[in-house]
Amino acid sequence: MPALAGKVTIVTGASSDKGIGNAIAHCYAREGASVYLVAEGTVEQLEAVQRACRAYPNAGRIEYGVHDLALRGEAERMVEQAAARFGRIDVLVNNAGIRVPVAFGEYSRDDFDRVVSVNLAAPFFASQAVLPIMRRQGGGRIIHIASQLGRVTYAKRALYGLTKAALVHLTKSMAYELGREGILVNAISPGPINTGFAMERTARDPAETERRIRSYVPAGRMGEPEEIAEVALFLATTQSAFLQGEDICVDGGYTSH
């Protein structure tokens, strides 16, 4: 029996071909889940992910919705539409995130508002919106994708790191309040991962990228989106039933020194 057979999942930030959300959607579909794919990208991008996920023999229903989670009320509308289509929601993965890489002192109010809206407000309100559904079902799983930069700092990441650190705190607060209702809340903090953004940077100067990675990642390499997806799969299954309020850092040892 596939690990997620019969489960309905929402994965935000799922349209990027080399992204973590895309990898999680594929992993869940492969393990039998129905998946509501969410992104602010184009319909064409989401349809491509939908086709790929539907190709797995065990996949449940694969649907998608275009949602700009920076907009007030959009996170709640996303949950409402998913529930209307599938009738239940077992797993919510708050993966969508953005960054504005500028030096501290140069952020605009618009930068602040948009990054906070997508990285923190959207997971907050999506999680609140899904609670009545999970309560009726007798439980569920909420997984926040945070970042190792919620623990350590890096140049031009002050705002991004701020939202990810807050997301980890939100994870613990939610877990403390909701655990007795069978709603398990955990976070994953990826380290340097070979997403599309990172691959573009590597292509510009492969030698320098390899030098930097080897200097600060004990594993000596970048991680792959699929390695984050495997942790997200574990957190979505019954195998992790006693894991609550944790932030699992998957970073190749980045934060160990």
**Length of the chain in residues, anyone?**
257
Q: Phi/psi of residue 34, each to 5°?
A: -85, 140
Active site residues per annotation: 160
The angle formed by the CA atoms of residues 50, 51 and 57, to the nearest 5 degrees, is 105
Nearest C-alpha neighbor of 118 from the set 175, 80, 159, 150: 159
Record the tokens describing residue 233, joined without a space. 């799969």
Determine how β-strand 140-145 pairs with β-strand 91-94: parallel
Residues 139/177, Cβ–Cβ less than 8 Å: no
Per run of 10 residues, the mean pLDDT along the chain (length 257 residues) is 97 93 98 97 94 98 98 98 98 97 97 98 98 98 97 94 98 98 98 78 74 88 96 96 97 92
Give the model's pLDDT for residue 203.
Answer: 61
**Could you state, in order of their start, the residue ranges of all structural domains in the chain?**
8-249
Residue holding tokens 């491509």?
A: 48
Q: What is the dihedral of CA 118, 123, 128, 134, to 10 degrees?
A: 140
Q: pLDDT value at position 216?
A: 86
What the block records as the tokens of 4 is 């997620």
The residue ranges of DSSP E strands in 109-153, in sequence order, are 140-145
**Angle at CA 96, nearest 5°, toward 92 and 101?**
155
CATH homologous superfamily for the domain 8-249: NAD(P)-binding Rossmann-like Domain (3.40.50.720)
Q: What 3-state class would DSSP assign to 141?
A: strand
Enumerate residues 6+ apart whose C-beta is below 8 A from 63: 34, 35, 36, 37, 50, 82, 85, 86
